Amino acid sequence: MKKVILDCDPGHDDTLALLLAHANPAIDLLAVTTVAGNQTLEKVTRNARNVMTVAGIRKTLLAAGADRPLVRELSTGEYIHGVTGLDGYNFPAPTVPVDKRHAADLIIDLLHANDKITLIPTAPLTNIALAIRKDPTIIPKIEEIVLMGGTNSTGNVTPLAEANIWIDAEAADIVFRSGVPLTMVGLNLTHQAKATPEVVDRIRKLDNEVARMAVGLIDFFASTYKKYFHFDAPPIHDACAVARVINPDIVKCEFVNVVVELKGTYTYGATVSDMEGITGRPANTNVATKLDFDKFWDLMIEALGSY
């Protein structure tokens, strides 16, 4: 069982990542930490509380972190995730408390209190960068960082940049240069994880409240992805990073050099992936390339059915 901290900004796909991480027996979910990204910090933290309340997640710590990127102004994904950041389901009042510590401090404390921990950031990397900068002695205690972010092809906020990296590329640069074992589960992989009508029908048949929540959220996500990206079904990006931790065979990777572009006029936030070894720079990142669609959704639906 892997000890895991999920750093997220719920978010529709973050919600499914959280539900998968909590339900799967291969993961011991120590904490959920939140960061501004898909919506403001206040909203994404409330969303995490909401989801954890509906799912009955009581023993996992929850802490709020950075309310803005390290350098730039915050840009949210309201046009995709809605005014609340998690439109599509009517949540009851949340009952899950928020730890008083800043998320970066909680991450530091848990790393010092445990053996190796895997970090799964599915949001801008601000909290992770803050923790590394505040206490570099945690670096050897991180087993791996498996992040949803970046791309080795086209982006979703600029032609080359994916949203989680673009929102705080300076934080991403710190993480990619940290020396921690790193896996980048980017758009080129997550676009293979679409919640097709057949998949949604399977979830609907589970007939529990968490599954009903998931269907409502996926339906809303589908509507915005169709409107803005012309997708026939929405990709469930963030759960792919969790699936990689549970079973690496579900997400195939290539080990290559990746750097984050910080200065380009048109390329800020690009994750420059040297897939052909052209630069001669040493490999530092497992770049996800191929998803086993059936195994991924079997894993996800089994998790949703367990609530």
What gap in Å lies between CA 37 and CA 34, rounded to an integer? 9
Q: Which residues pair with 286 in a beta bridge?
A: 183, 255
Q: Are 288 and 271 in contact (CB under 8 A)?
A: no
Q: Quick check: bond before 179 cis, omega within 30? A: no
**What single-letter amino acid sits at 73?**
E
What is the full DSSP assignment across 157-201? SSSSB-HHHHHTHHHHHHHHTS-S-EEEE-HHHHTT-B--HHHHH
What gap in Å lies between CA 229 and CA 249, rounded to an integer? 29
Q: Which residues pair with 28 in a beta bridge?
A: 3
**Mode of pairing for the β-strands spanning 27-34 and 61-64:** parallel
- In 3D space, the residue among 263, 271, 246 whose CA is nearest the CA of residue 29 turns out to be 246
**Catalytic residue IDs:** 237
